[in-house]
Structure 1
Amino acid sequence: MSLRQTLSGTGVALVTPFRSNMEVNLDALGRIIDFVIDGGVEYVVTLGTTGETPTLSKEEKIAIIQYTYEKVGNRVPVVVGVGGNDTTNLVKELEHLPLEKATAILSAAPYYNKPSQEGIFQHYKILAAASPKPILLYNVPGRTGRNMSADTTIRLAKEVANIAGIKEASGDMAQCMQILRDRPENFLVVSGDDALVLPQIACGMDGVISVAANAFPKAFTNMVRESLKGNFKAAKSLNDPLIQAYELMFAENNPAGVKAFMTELGLIENNLRLPMTPLSAGLHNNVKGYLKK
Protein backbone atom coordinates (compact mmCIF):
# COMPACT_ATOMS: atom_id res chain seq x y z
CA MET A 1 0.00 0.00 0.00
CA SER A 2 1.37 3.43 -0.96
CA LEU A 3 1.80 6.21 1.59
CA ARG A 4 -0.91 8.11 -0.28
CA GLN A 5 -3.35 5.32 0.61
CA THR A 6 -2.02 4.77 4.15
CA LEU A 7 -2.30 8.45 5.15
CA SER A 8 -5.54 9.27 3.36
CA GLY A 9 -8.23 10.83 5.54
CA THR A 10 -7.69 12.60 8.85
CA GLY A 11 -4.41 12.84 10.70
CA VAL A 12 -4.37 14.80 13.94
CA ALA A 13 -1.48 17.06 14.97
CA LEU A 14 -1.40 16.18 18.66
CA VAL A 15 -1.05 18.89 21.29
CA THR A 16 1.51 18.40 24.06
CA PRO A 17 -0.24 18.56 27.45
CA PHE A 18 1.67 20.11 30.35
CA ARG A 19 1.16 19.96 34.10
CA SER A 20 0.95 23.16 36.14
CA ASN A 21 4.73 22.94 36.74
CA MET A 22 5.17 22.80 32.92
CA GLU A 23 6.36 19.19 32.85
CA VAL A 24 5.05 17.08 29.97
CA ASN A 25 1.94 15.20 31.12
CA LEU A 26 2.14 11.77 29.48
CA ASP A 27 -1.02 10.58 31.25
CA ALA A 28 -3.00 13.36 29.57
CA LEU A 29 -1.31 12.60 26.27
CA GLY A 30 -2.56 9.05 26.61
CA ARG A 31 -6.12 10.30 27.13
CA ILE A 32 -5.85 12.44 24.02
CA ILE A 33 -4.51 9.57 21.91
CA ASP A 34 -7.37 7.29 22.98
CA PHE A 35 -9.90 10.09 22.44
CA VAL A 36 -8.85 10.86 18.88
CA ILE A 37 -8.42 7.22 17.84
CA ASP A 38 -11.79 6.29 19.33
CA GLY A 39 -13.15 9.33 17.47
CA GLY A 40 -12.03 7.86 14.15
CA VAL A 41 -8.80 9.57 13.05
CA GLU A 42 -6.79 7.59 10.51
CA TYR A 43 -3.39 8.48 12.00
CA VAL A 44 -1.65 10.68 14.55
CA VAL A 45 1.16 13.20 14.14
CA THR A 46 3.42 13.78 17.12
CA LEU A 47 5.86 16.69 17.54
CA GLY A 48 4.21 18.99 15.03
CA THR A 49 4.10 22.73 15.65
CA THR A 50 0.72 22.23 17.39
CA GLY A 51 2.71 20.22 19.93
CA GLU A 52 4.75 23.32 20.90
CA THR A 53 7.84 21.49 19.66
CA PRO A 54 10.18 24.52 19.72
CA THR A 55 9.91 24.51 23.52
CA LEU A 56 10.61 20.80 24.00
CA SER A 57 14.02 19.43 24.95
CA LYS A 58 15.67 16.57 23.07
CA GLU A 59 14.92 14.25 25.99
CA GLU A 60 11.26 15.28 26.06
CA LYS A 61 10.92 14.70 22.32
CA ILE A 62 12.32 11.19 22.64
CA ALA A 63 10.02 10.42 25.59
CA ILE A 64 6.95 11.72 23.73
CA ILE A 65 7.75 9.72 20.59
CA GLN A 66 8.33 6.50 22.51
CA TYR A 67 5.21 6.97 24.64
CA THR A 68 3.13 7.67 21.53
CA TYR A 69 4.30 4.44 19.89
CA GLU A 70 3.45 2.46 23.03
CA LYS A 71 0.04 4.06 23.55
CA VAL A 72 -1.02 3.87 19.91
CA GLY A 73 0.16 0.29 19.54
CA ASN A 74 -0.85 -0.92 16.10
CA ARG A 75 -4.15 0.94 16.03
CA VAL A 76 -3.14 3.69 13.58
CA PRO A 77 0.05 4.92 11.86
CA VAL A 78 2.27 7.44 13.64
CA VAL A 79 3.92 10.34 11.80
CA VAL A 80 6.74 12.17 13.58
CA GLY A 81 7.48 15.87 13.12
CA VAL A 82 11.16 16.69 12.61
CA GLY A 83 11.70 20.25 11.38
CA GLY A 84 14.07 23.15 11.75
CA ASN A 85 16.10 25.84 10.01
CA ASP A 86 19.59 24.34 10.35
CA THR A 87 19.91 21.56 7.78
CA THR A 88 23.05 20.01 9.28
CA ASN A 89 21.63 19.82 12.81
CA LEU A 90 18.38 18.44 11.45
CA VAL A 91 20.25 15.56 9.82
CA LYS A 92 21.79 14.80 13.23
CA GLU A 93 18.34 14.88 14.83
CA LEU A 94 17.07 12.37 12.29
CA GLU A 95 19.93 10.08 13.32
CA HIS A 96 19.23 10.32 17.05
CA LEU A 97 15.44 10.27 17.34
CA PRO A 98 13.64 6.89 17.68
CA LEU A 99 12.02 6.75 14.24
CA GLU A 100 11.96 3.02 13.61
CA LYS A 101 8.18 2.72 14.23
CA ALA A 102 7.24 5.90 12.36
CA THR A 103 5.30 5.67 9.12
CA ALA A 104 6.70 8.97 7.83
CA ILE A 105 8.48 12.18 8.86
CA LEU A 106 6.67 15.52 8.61
CA SER A 107 9.18 18.34 8.16
CA ALA A 108 8.25 22.01 7.98
CA ALA A 109 10.14 24.21 5.53
CA PRO A 110 12.97 26.21 7.16
CA TYR A 111 11.68 29.16 9.17
CA TYR A 112 13.14 32.63 9.77
CA ASN A 113 16.13 32.16 7.42
CA LYS A 114 13.81 32.80 4.43
CA PRO A 115 15.83 30.72 1.93
CA SER A 116 15.33 30.92 -1.82
CA GLN A 117 13.34 28.22 -3.62
CA GLU A 118 16.66 26.56 -4.50
CA GLY A 119 17.66 26.65 -0.83
CA ILE A 120 14.37 24.99 0.14
CA PHE A 121 14.90 22.32 -2.54
CA GLN A 122 18.46 21.55 -1.41
CA HIS A 123 17.39 21.49 2.27
CA TYR A 124 14.76 18.83 1.61
CA LYS A 125 17.03 16.88 -0.74
CA ILE A 126 19.59 16.52 2.06
CA LEU A 127 16.93 15.57 4.60
CA ALA A 128 15.42 12.97 2.29
CA ALA A 129 18.81 11.34 1.77
CA ALA A 130 19.38 11.18 5.54
CA SER A 131 15.91 10.10 6.62
CA PRO A 132 15.15 6.45 7.41
CA LYS A 133 11.49 7.11 6.62
CA PRO A 134 9.61 8.90 3.80
CA ILE A 135 9.49 12.67 4.12
CA LEU A 136 6.29 14.70 4.01
CA LEU A 137 6.95 18.32 3.10
CA TYR A 138 5.14 20.93 5.15
CA ASN A 139 4.49 24.31 3.57
CA VAL A 140 3.23 26.77 6.18
CA PRO A 141 4.36 30.27 5.15
CA GLY A 142 2.38 31.91 7.95
CA ARG A 143 4.86 30.35 10.37
CA THR A 144 8.04 30.09 8.29
CA GLY A 145 8.01 33.46 6.54
CA ARG A 146 8.61 31.89 3.11
CA ASN A 147 6.17 30.16 0.77
CA MET A 148 7.34 26.98 -0.93
CA SER A 149 6.11 27.39 -4.48
CA ALA A 150 4.11 24.78 -6.34
CA ASP A 151 7.02 24.44 -8.78
CA THR A 152 9.42 23.60 -5.92
CA THR A 153 6.97 21.09 -4.45
CA ILE A 154 6.55 19.32 -7.79
CA ARG A 155 10.28 19.38 -8.45
CA LEU A 156 10.90 17.68 -5.09
CA ALA A 157 8.09 15.19 -5.73
CA LYS A 158 9.54 14.18 -9.10
CA GLU A 159 13.29 14.38 -8.47
CA VAL A 160 13.77 13.19 -4.85
CA ALA A 161 12.82 9.56 -4.28
CA ASN A 162 12.25 9.66 -0.51
CA ILE A 163 9.82 12.59 -0.60
CA ALA A 164 6.33 11.12 -0.54
CA GLY A 165 3.88 13.96 0.02
CA ILE A 166 3.07 17.40 1.36
CA LYS A 167 1.00 19.04 4.04
CA GLU A 168 0.02 22.20 2.19
CA ALA A 169 -1.00 25.09 4.46
CA SER A 170 -0.44 28.14 2.27
CA GLY A 171 -4.17 28.81 2.04
CA ASP A 172 -3.62 29.63 -1.64
CA MET A 173 -6.22 27.62 -3.55
CA ALA A 174 -4.62 28.33 -6.93
CA GLN A 175 -1.29 26.99 -5.65
CA CYS A 176 -3.04 23.93 -4.22
CA MET A 177 -4.74 23.21 -7.55
CA GLN A 178 -1.44 23.52 -9.41
CA ILE A 179 0.16 20.96 -7.08
CA LEU A 180 -2.81 18.62 -7.50
CA ARG A 181 -2.68 18.97 -11.27
CA ASP A 182 1.03 18.24 -11.59
CA ARG A 183 1.81 15.77 -8.78
CA PRO A 184 3.03 12.22 -9.45
CA GLU A 185 0.32 9.60 -9.03
CA ASN A 186 1.39 8.33 -5.60
CA PHE A 187 2.34 11.73 -4.14
CA LEU A 188 0.22 12.44 -1.04
CA VAL A 189 -1.32 15.92 -0.78
CA VAL A 190 -3.12 16.81 2.45
CA SER A 191 -4.47 20.07 3.79
CA GLY A 192 -3.01 21.98 6.71
CA ASP A 193 -5.99 24.35 6.95
CA ASP A 194 -8.98 22.93 8.86
CA ALA A 195 -11.33 25.60 7.55
CA LEU A 196 -10.45 24.83 3.91
CA VAL A 197 -10.46 21.03 4.02
CA LEU A 198 -13.84 20.53 2.38
CA PRO A 199 -13.16 22.62 -0.77
CA GLN A 200 -9.58 21.36 -0.96
CA ILE A 201 -10.74 17.74 -0.99
CA ALA A 202 -13.21 18.75 -3.70
CA CYS A 203 -10.16 19.88 -5.70
CA GLY A 204 -8.44 16.52 -5.17
CA MET A 205 -6.61 16.54 -1.84
CA ASP A 206 -6.29 13.23 0.02
CA GLY A 207 -7.25 14.51 3.47
CA VAL A 208 -5.84 16.69 6.22
CA ILE A 209 -3.48 16.91 9.17
CA SER A 210 -5.81 18.66 11.55
CA VAL A 211 -5.72 20.74 14.71
CA ALA A 212 -9.49 20.67 15.25
CA ALA A 213 -9.54 16.86 15.37
CA ASN A 214 -7.87 17.08 18.81
CA ALA A 215 -11.18 18.40 20.14
CA PHE A 216 -13.80 17.18 17.65
CA PRO A 217 -12.44 13.94 16.19
CA LYS A 218 -15.76 12.26 15.42
CA ALA A 219 -17.49 15.15 13.66
CA PHE A 220 -14.35 16.22 11.85
CA THR A 221 -13.31 12.79 10.60
CA ASN A 222 -16.85 12.08 9.44
CA MET A 223 -16.83 15.35 7.50
CA VAL A 224 -13.54 14.40 5.84
CA ARG A 225 -14.81 10.92 4.97
CA GLU A 226 -17.98 12.27 3.39
CA SER A 227 -15.88 14.74 1.41
CA LEU A 228 -13.57 11.99 0.16
CA LYS A 229 -16.64 10.01 -0.95
CA GLY A 230 -17.86 13.05 -2.90
CA ASN A 231 -20.87 13.48 -0.59
CA PHE A 232 -20.37 17.21 -0.25
CA LYS A 233 -23.90 18.01 0.90
CA ALA A 234 -23.47 15.66 3.86
CA ALA A 235 -19.95 16.98 4.44
CA LYS A 236 -21.22 20.56 4.50
CA SER A 237 -23.87 19.68 7.09
CA LEU A 238 -21.09 18.36 9.34
CA ASN A 239 -18.69 21.20 8.60
CA ASP A 240 -21.05 24.13 9.07
CA PRO A 241 -21.35 23.73 12.87
CA LEU A 242 -17.55 23.55 13.12
CA ILE A 243 -16.85 26.84 11.32
CA GLN A 244 -17.13 28.93 14.48
CA ALA A 245 -14.88 26.46 16.30
CA TYR A 246 -12.20 26.90 13.63
CA GLU A 247 -12.43 30.66 14.03
CA LEU A 248 -12.05 30.46 17.81
CA MET A 249 -9.16 27.99 17.60
CA PHE A 250 -7.05 30.28 15.45
CA ALA A 251 -8.24 33.68 16.64
CA GLU A 252 -5.09 34.32 18.72
CA ASN A 253 -2.63 31.48 18.20
CA ASN A 254 -2.28 27.75 17.88
CA PRO A 255 -2.44 25.72 20.11
CA ALA A 256 -3.93 28.14 22.66
CA GLY A 257 -7.31 27.91 20.95
CA VAL A 258 -7.56 24.16 20.71
CA LYS A 259 -6.13 23.75 24.22
CA ALA A 260 -8.98 25.92 25.54
CA PHE A 261 -11.49 23.59 23.90
CA MET A 262 -9.70 20.51 25.24
CA THR A 263 -9.59 21.97 28.74
CA GLU A 264 -13.35 22.49 28.70
CA LEU A 265 -13.77 18.91 27.44
CA GLY A 266 -11.78 17.65 30.44
CA LEU A 267 -8.88 16.25 28.43
CA ILE A 268 -6.02 18.49 29.63
CA GLU A 269 -5.04 21.32 31.94
CA ASN A 270 -4.88 24.69 30.17
CA ASN A 271 -1.10 25.12 30.30
CA LEU A 272 1.22 26.37 27.54
CA ARG A 273 4.94 27.05 27.58
CA LEU A 274 6.13 30.59 27.00
CA PRO A 275 6.16 32.43 24.70
CA MET A 276 2.73 30.86 24.15
CA THR A 277 0.02 31.85 26.64
CA PRO A 278 -3.52 30.57 27.19
CA LEU A 279 -6.41 32.02 25.24
CA SER A 280 -7.59 35.40 26.52
CA ALA A 281 -10.52 35.37 28.94
CA GLY A 282 -13.05 36.80 26.50
CA LEU A 283 -12.30 34.26 23.80
CA HIS A 284 -12.21 31.45 26.35
CA ASN A 285 -15.73 32.44 27.41
CA ASN A 286 -16.74 32.24 23.76
CA VAL A 287 -15.31 28.70 23.67
CA LYS A 288 -17.48 27.79 26.65
CA GLY A 289 -20.51 29.33 24.94
CA TYR A 290 -19.84 27.42 21.73
CA LEU A 291 -19.60 24.10 23.58
CA LYS A 292 -22.84 24.79 25.48
CA LYS A 293 -24.60 25.18 22.13
Structure 2
Amino acid sequence: SQTGLLAHYRHLADAAPLPLLLYNVPGRTGSNLAAGTVLQLAEHPNILGIKEASGNLEQCLQILARKPADFLFLSGDDLLTVPLIACGAAGIITVLGNAFPQRFSDMTRAALAGDYARAQRELWYFVGLNPLMYEEGNPVGVKAALALQGLCEPAVRLPLVPASEELTARIKALL
Protein backbone atom coordinates (compact mmCIF):
# COMPACT_ATOMS: atom_id res chain seq x y z
CA SER A 1 0.00 0.00 0.00
CA GLN A 2 1.04 3.63 -0.31
CA THR A 3 1.01 3.84 3.50
CA GLY A 4 3.50 0.97 3.66
CA LEU A 5 5.72 2.48 0.97
CA LEU A 6 5.70 5.82 2.78
CA ALA A 7 6.72 4.16 6.06
CA HIS A 8 9.38 2.06 4.31
CA TYR A 9 11.07 4.97 2.54
CA ARG A 10 10.89 7.20 5.61
CA HIS A 11 12.58 4.44 7.61
CA LEU A 12 15.31 4.10 4.97
CA ALA A 13 15.82 7.87 4.76
CA ASP A 14 16.06 8.16 8.54
CA ALA A 15 18.73 5.44 8.69
CA ALA A 16 20.74 6.25 5.56
CA PRO A 17 24.10 8.00 6.01
CA LEU A 18 23.75 9.62 2.56
CA PRO A 19 20.77 11.27 0.85
CA LEU A 20 18.44 8.97 -1.08
CA LEU A 21 17.19 9.20 -4.64
CA LEU A 22 13.83 7.46 -4.96
CA TYR A 23 13.37 5.20 -7.98
CA ASN A 24 9.84 4.57 -9.18
CA VAL A 25 9.83 1.73 -11.69
CA PRO A 26 6.55 -0.16 -11.29
CA GLY A 27 7.23 -2.25 -14.39
CA ARG A 28 10.04 -3.96 -12.47
CA THR A 29 8.82 -3.75 -8.88
CA GLY A 30 5.09 -4.33 -9.37
CA SER A 31 4.43 -1.35 -7.11
CA ASN A 32 3.95 2.30 -8.03
CA LEU A 33 4.96 5.24 -5.86
CA ALA A 34 1.89 7.44 -6.34
CA ALA A 35 2.35 11.19 -6.82
CA GLY A 36 0.93 11.93 -3.37
CA THR A 37 3.36 9.51 -1.74
CA VAL A 38 6.32 10.99 -3.63
CA LEU A 39 5.29 14.50 -2.61
CA GLN A 40 5.11 13.48 1.06
CA LEU A 41 8.55 11.85 0.79
CA ALA A 42 9.89 14.97 -0.94
CA GLU A 43 9.53 16.78 2.39
CA HIS A 44 12.04 14.43 4.08
CA PRO A 45 15.42 16.17 4.51
CA ASN A 46 17.35 13.03 3.48
CA ILE A 47 15.46 12.39 0.23
CA LEU A 48 16.93 14.50 -2.54
CA GLY A 49 14.78 13.48 -5.49
CA ILE A 50 13.33 10.79 -7.70
CA LYS A 51 14.09 8.88 -10.87
CA GLU A 52 10.53 8.60 -12.19
CA ALA A 53 10.19 5.66 -14.58
CA SER A 54 6.49 4.87 -14.33
CA GLY A 55 5.87 6.09 -17.88
CA ASN A 56 2.76 7.81 -16.54
CA LEU A 57 2.93 11.38 -17.86
CA GLU A 58 0.01 12.57 -15.73
CA GLN A 59 1.68 11.28 -12.56
CA CYS A 60 4.97 12.92 -13.54
CA LEU A 61 3.23 16.24 -14.14
CA GLN A 62 1.47 16.04 -10.77
CA ILE A 63 4.85 15.66 -9.06
CA LEU A 64 6.54 18.37 -11.13
CA ALA A 65 3.73 20.84 -10.48
CA ARG A 66 3.79 20.42 -6.69
CA LYS A 67 7.30 19.32 -5.70
CA PRO A 68 9.51 21.47 -3.47
CA ALA A 69 11.98 23.61 -5.43
CA ASP A 70 14.98 21.67 -4.10
CA PHE A 71 13.53 18.22 -4.90
CA LEU A 72 15.31 16.77 -7.94
CA PHE A 73 13.07 15.20 -10.59
CA LEU A 74 14.86 13.00 -13.12
CA SER A 75 13.12 11.21 -15.96
CA GLY A 76 13.61 7.47 -15.96
CA ASP A 77 11.83 7.04 -19.29
CA ASP A 78 13.97 7.92 -22.30
CA LEU A 79 11.10 8.93 -24.57
CA LEU A 80 9.63 11.28 -21.95
CA THR A 81 12.91 13.14 -21.44
CA VAL A 82 12.16 16.12 -23.68
CA PRO A 83 8.57 16.73 -22.53
CA LEU A 84 9.49 16.29 -18.87
CA ILE A 85 12.43 18.69 -19.14
CA ALA A 86 10.04 21.17 -20.77
CA CYS A 87 7.88 20.84 -17.64
CA GLY A 88 10.73 21.23 -15.14
CA ALA A 89 12.61 17.93 -14.89
CA ALA A 90 16.32 18.35 -14.18
CA GLY A 91 17.46 15.60 -16.55
CA ILE A 92 17.41 11.85 -17.13
CA ILE A 93 18.93 8.61 -15.93
CA THR A 94 18.87 6.83 -19.28
CA VAL A 95 18.96 3.40 -20.88
CA LEU A 96 19.43 4.53 -24.49
CA GLY A 97 22.18 6.93 -23.50
CA ASN A 98 24.41 3.96 -22.67
CA ALA A 99 24.46 2.85 -26.30
CA PHE A 100 24.09 6.28 -27.92
CA PRO A 101 25.79 8.65 -25.47
CA GLN A 102 26.61 11.55 -27.78
CA ARG A 103 23.28 11.69 -29.56
CA PHE A 104 21.25 11.22 -26.38
CA SER A 105 23.35 13.81 -24.56
CA ASP A 106 22.88 16.25 -27.44
CA MET A 107 19.11 15.78 -27.24
CA THR A 108 19.05 16.23 -23.47
CA ARG A 109 21.33 19.27 -23.52
CA ALA A 110 19.21 20.88 -26.26
CA ALA A 111 16.09 20.38 -24.16
CA LEU A 112 17.80 21.75 -21.03
CA ALA A 113 18.87 24.80 -23.06
CA GLY A 114 15.30 25.34 -24.27
CA ASP A 115 16.08 24.37 -27.88
CA TYR A 116 13.05 22.11 -28.17
CA ALA A 117 13.05 22.03 -31.98
CA ARG A 118 16.51 20.44 -31.97
CA ALA A 119 15.66 18.17 -29.04
CA GLN A 120 12.53 17.00 -30.83
CA ARG A 121 14.46 16.15 -34.01
CA GLU A 122 16.77 13.92 -31.97
CA LEU A 123 13.83 12.45 -30.06
CA TRP A 124 12.23 11.20 -33.29
CA TYR A 125 15.33 9.08 -33.93
CA PHE A 126 14.98 7.45 -30.53
CA VAL A 127 11.23 6.88 -30.98
CA GLY A 128 12.07 4.39 -33.74
CA LEU A 129 14.92 2.79 -31.83
CA ASN A 130 13.48 2.52 -28.31
CA PRO A 131 11.10 -0.44 -28.85
CA LEU A 132 13.96 -2.54 -30.21
CA MET A 133 15.92 -2.08 -26.99
CA TYR A 134 13.22 -3.86 -24.97
CA GLU A 135 11.78 -6.32 -27.49
CA GLU A 136 13.72 -9.31 -26.16
CA GLY A 137 14.22 -8.01 -22.62
CA ASN A 138 16.31 -5.33 -20.99
CA PRO A 139 19.34 -4.97 -21.44
CA VAL A 140 19.42 -7.35 -24.45
CA GLY A 141 18.82 -4.64 -27.05
CA VAL A 142 21.26 -2.18 -25.52
CA LYS A 143 23.95 -4.86 -25.29
CA ALA A 144 23.36 -5.72 -28.96
CA ALA A 145 23.69 -2.05 -29.93
CA LEU A 146 26.89 -1.72 -27.89
CA ALA A 147 28.30 -4.92 -29.42
CA LEU A 148 27.51 -3.69 -32.94
CA GLN A 149 29.59 -0.60 -32.13
CA GLY A 150 32.47 -2.77 -30.90
CA LEU A 151 32.11 -1.58 -27.31
CA CYS A 152 31.29 -4.87 -25.57
CA GLU A 153 30.25 -8.44 -26.11
CA PRO A 154 26.52 -9.12 -26.50
CA ALA A 155 26.58 -11.48 -23.50
CA VAL A 156 23.81 -11.24 -20.91
CA ARG A 157 23.06 -13.32 -17.83
CA LEU A 158 20.47 -16.09 -17.78
CA PRO A 159 17.54 -16.26 -18.06
CA LEU A 160 18.21 -13.63 -20.73
CA VAL A 161 19.97 -14.65 -23.93
CA PRO A 162 21.78 -12.50 -26.51
CA ALA A 163 19.64 -10.73 -29.09
CA SER A 164 18.35 -12.84 -31.95
CA GLU A 165 19.96 -12.43 -35.37
CA GLU A 166 16.74 -10.81 -36.60
CA LEU A 167 16.67 -8.20 -33.81
CA THR A 168 20.40 -7.55 -34.18
CA ALA A 169 19.92 -6.90 -37.91
CA ARG A 170 17.06 -4.46 -37.22
CA ILE A 171 19.15 -2.58 -34.65
CA LYS A 172 22.11 -2.49 -37.05
CA ALA A 173 19.90 -0.96 -39.75
CA LEU A 174 19.12 1.97 -37.42
CA LEU A 175 22.73 2.54 -36.42
Which TM-score band applies after superposition, normalised by the shorter structure?
Answer: over 0.9
Match of 1:231 in 2: 115
**Any gaps of 5 or more consecutive residues in structure 2?**
none
Superposition pairs for residues 170-189 of structure 1, below 5 Å? 170-189=54-73
1:152 pairs with 2:37: yes
**What amino acid is aligned across from residue 262 of structure 1 in structure 2?**
L
Selected match of 1:123 from 8, 11, 14: 8
Deviation per residue, 1:193-241 (Å, 9 max, x gap): 1111111111211110001111111111111111111110011122222
Q: Distance in 2 between matches of 1:148 and 1:252?
A: 26
1:282 pairs with 2:166: yes
**Is the partner of 2:93 in helix, strand or coil?**
strand
Q: Distance in 2 between matches of 1:197 and 1:204?
A: 10
Across the two proteins, how many residue pairs are aligned to each other?
Answer: 175
1:169 pairs with 2:53: yes
**Is the partner of 2:42 in helix, strand or coil?**
helix
**What amino acid is aligned across from residue 15 of structure 2 in structure 1?**
A
Could you tell me how far 1:280 is from its partner in structure 2?
2.3
Considering Cα pairs closer than 8 Å and 6+ residues apart, tell me whether 1 or 2 has the greater RCO.
Answer: 1
Deviation per residue, 1:65-95 (Å, 9 max, x gap): xxxxxxxxxxxxxxxxxxxxxxxxxxxxxxx
Q: Distance in 2 between matches of 1:156 and 1:231?
A: 32
Dislocated runs of 4+, deviation >4 Å: none
Between structures 1 and 2, the one with greater helix share: 2
1:272 pairs with 2:156: yes
Q: Distance in 1 between matches of 2:3 and 2:129?
A: 38
Q: Distance in 1 between matches of 2:115 and 2:56?
A: 24
Q: Distance in 2 between matches of 1:226 and 1:219?
A: 11
CA RMSD of aligned residues (A): 1.1
**Any gaps of 5 or more consecutive residues in structure 1?**
1-115
Deviation per residue, 1:42-64 (Å, 9 max, x gap): xxxxxxxxxxxxxxxxxxxxxxx
Q: Distance in 2 between matches of 1:145 and 1:270?
A: 28
Give the fraction of aligned pairs with identical amino acids, expressed as a percent: 49
Q: TM-score, normalised by structure 2?
A: 0.96
